[in-house]
Amino acid sequence: MSLHRTGLPLTALCVFFLTCCLSVEAGWDPRKRSAEAGDGESEAAATAKSEFLGKDSSLQEFFDAAWGYAIFPSVGKGGFGIGGAYGKGEVYEKGVYVGQTKLKQFTIGFQIGGQKYREVIFFKSEAALDDFKRGNFELGAQASAVAVTAGASADADYADDIAIFTMTIGGLMYEATVGGQKFDFHPK
């Protein structure tokens, strides 16, 4: 079998995953918050929070005790050697909406496929949240996230006053990549 015959379906599959997964909830815009949301969560953020808690109710302790959190209802990620991720989210301080954020990630390394996932970043202290809100915040390649499953947060803890949890929405991705997530923040 020639390389051409096996390479084309693989390339087509990667393009399909990238197209599907990087379309990140095209209709959702955190700036367009419903009038009912006020200083509370938007519908998309409330749904994401509810699904996190549905998978692991012990995450409620993080939502209750954290100084603040950034929640991303949908992050799209895809790659074929070179990859990236993108998502829009909302930031809360002591339960009150304070602004929006964008997540961007560029990765290089062995990776193939695409996926959508949710992410929540908890800030244990006011200083950690303030650092995030200054803009141009970055999580290094060494930062790790806990994949949310029943009871996963029971043993989870903060590292440098930050705890990260993710939950897969769909797709399939295999990777061994190097790269960090970058965030920007825009106050309400």
Q: Does the pLDDT value for residue 31 go beyond 70?
A: no
Rounded CA gap, 150 and 55, in Å?
Answer: 5
The model's pLDDT over 48-89, given as tens digits with 9 standing for 90+, comes to 999 999 999 989 999 999 999 999 999 999 998 888 999 999
pLDDT of residue 141: 63
3-state secondary structure of 96: strand
Q: Average of pLDDT values for 16-30?
A: 44
Closest CA to 108 of 11, 175, 172, 178: 178
Indicate the residue type of 91.
V
Sign of CA dihedral 159, 24, 107, 31: negative
Rounded CA gap, 119 and 163, in Å?
Answer: 11
pLDDT of residue 145: 77
pLDDT of residue 138: 87
Q: Which residues are CB-contacts of 13 (< 8 A; sequence separation ≥ 6)? A: 113
pLDDT of residue 24: 44
Radius of gyration of the chain (CA): 17
3-state secondary structure of 110: strand
pLDDT of residue 174: 64
The model's pLDDT over 60-69, given as tens digits with 9 standing for 90+, comes to 999 999 999 9
pLDDT of residue 14: 44
